[in-house]
Amino acid sequence: MTDFLYPFIEADERDPAPLLADLERSATAKADTSRRLGVATLAGCAPEIGRAAAAMAERFAAGGRLLAFGNGGSAADAAGLVALFGTPPWGRPLPALSLGADPVVLSALGNDVGFEVVFARQLMAHGRPGDLVVGLSTSGNSANLLAAFAEARRRGMLSVGVAGYGGGRMATASLDHCLVVEADSVHRIQETQSALLFALWSAVQSGLDGRP
Amino acid sequence: MPSPDGPLGPLAGRLAAASLALARRFAGGGTLWCWSPRWPHHARHVAVEFVHPVVVGARAFPAVAVVETDAVAALRHLVGPGDAIVVVGGSVEEVVPVLRRAPAWGVLTLWVGAGAGPAVADHELALPGGDSAFHSGEVVLLYHLLWELTQVCFEHPGLLAPAPAPVGEVCVTCSDAARLGEVVVTSPGDMATVRTAEGREEIDTTLVGTLRAGDLVLVHAGTAIDVVAIDVVAVDVVDIDVVAVP
């Protein structure tokens, strides 16, 4: 931006020390923002986490399975959630599937029908009424998540949404439970969504304590 | 993780250095290979950040998640000099076979995780605490910051030339430094083809005895002068400094 004033400044820059100091300050500030957002969101969502976890524990206790989905980084986080439920670091392993795990299925549905059905069609194939779904979206507007939540509702599955940016369309999509991160950076939203889901998993584990 | 130095403590400085090193690899045409032995979803998350940036105007960079069971076998034939590997988590035993070989492949290594790092990678970003950091978003924050800072480095093109090579021990008689090589194949007459950061070469292995493909050796003046141990045995961390003194 300052090229016209200092044409030498960027291309001829040779000393990395000022940049490294800037990066260090930037990392510290962003981490601080992330931490504050996480603490505030966990506090604000605590009642909804408690309600969602109780309903999920009921479903798991009755033999229900978790089906999780998201797009992009949220697909990775959905896979992480499935790993957390399925092969937990402690507590009880619970049946969980990631609907984004198989590129063969995703490309078959995406190519033959359309990407908006990649999760909904999988729910038609193996969703059972006692199952539960968790969908992650930073915008709250992903068409394939909204289609999947609609399909889950038709099938009597428990639905839990995790969204950012005020919730987007997921906030009004008649989900059983919706956890919303009030922020407008995809990265900060995802970090706090992971914290929310970790709290949710812990609460489900507590809810299953003492059950056979 | 309260710290008098801010929420990241000394990690902020390490993140800055790691980001500039990674940016220099991308600027030179390198690819980032992402691997997590325990949590492949973290490897995929890192890769998608770089390939498909969510911020408008950010640059896309070549990054690939490696989720094969045998990461050494997969990476060996994928990576090339100038690339980088980022490893998310994993025990020392799991990650060291990749990290120890990386210099022979000419690859920069980063380790991102929590708890004790493997102490082998070029850059290690280790959060305090245990495995819960891999689930609670804290490790995600670290690799998000790595991505964000790497993007910032590209606003400083003058700083993206490759870092000057570290000046190592150089032989006084032939001015050749000892380099790490991975044995590709052995041949009769105590010879072997090895791979180093500079490429493949034929070397004499008389001094080190029988070798197998995959072994690591120190190469000096066309000769293998020592075998480098790859696998680590469990070492009491407290004793390392004591043991290291000859």
Interchain contact, A19 vs B159, CB within 8 Å: yes
**Average pLDDT taken over every residue of chain B:** 90
Contact A56, A204 (CB under 8 A): yes
Interchain contact, A23 vs B52, CB within 8 Å: no
Given pLDDT bands bounded at 50, 70 and 90, which one contains residue B43? very high
Residue B228: strand pairing partners: B216
Same domain, B130 and B22: yes
Q: Which CATH number fits domain A30-208: 3.40.50.12780, 3.90.1150.10, 3.40.50.10490, 1.10.760.10?
A: 3.40.50.10490
CB-nearest to A23 from B19, B132, B147 is B19
How many residues are recorded in chain A? 212
Its ipTM equals: 0.94
Count of alpha carbons within 13 angstroms of residue A24, beta-carbon side: 15
Interchain contact, A89 vs B131, CB within 8 Å: yes
Nearest residue on chain B to A194, alpha-carbon basis: B137
| Rounded Cα gap, residues A1 and B150, in angstroms | 19
| Rounded Cα gap, residues A122 and A118, in angstroms | 7
CB-nearest to B20 from A14, A19, A26 is A19
A residues 113..152 contacting B (CB < 8 A): 138
* pLDDT at res. B240: 36
* Beta carbons within 10 angstroms of residue A93's beta carbon: 9
Interchain contact, A23 vs B48, CB within 8 Å: no
* pLDDT at res. A176: 98
Same domain, B100 and B45: yes
- Where in the sequence is the domain holding B54, given as residue range(s)? 11-159
Tokens of B121: 């990678």
> Does residue B5 surpass a pLDDT of 60?
no
How large is the average pLDDT for residues A140-161? 98
Looking at B99, B127, B159, the residue that finishes a domain is B159
| Rounded Cα gap, residues B244 and B246, in angstroms | 6
> Does residue A65 surpass a pLDDT of 90?
yes
Does B39 contact chain A (CB < 8 Å)?
A: yes
Model pLDDT for residues B175-231, shown as the tens digit of each residue:
678 899 999 999 999 999 999 999 999 999 999 999 999 999 999 999 999 999 987
User: Would you say residue B6 lies in a domain?
Assistant: no
> Does residue A148 surpass a pLDDT of 50?
yes
> Does residue A149 surpass a pLDDT of 90?
yes
Nearest by Cα to B63 from B94, B92, B85, B90? B85
Same domain, B153 and B217: no
Interchain contact, A30 vs B132, CB within 8 Å: no
* pLDDT at res. B168: 60
User: Would you say residue B226 lies in a domain?
Assistant: yes
Looking at B159, B177, B199, the residue that finishes a domain is B159
Interchain contact, B145 vs A16, CB within 8 Å: no
Nearest by Cα to A23 from B152, B101, B60, B116? B152
* pLDDT at res. B172: 64
* pLDDT at res. B169: 62
**Average pLDDT taken over every residue of chain A:** 95
Model pLDDT for residues B222-245, shown as the tens digit of each residue:
999 999 998 755 444 433 333 333
* pLDDT at res. B235: 44
* Beta carbons within 10 angstroms of residue B101's beta carbon: 23
* pLDDT at res. B245: 33
Nearest by Cα to B9 from A35, A29, A28, A39? A28
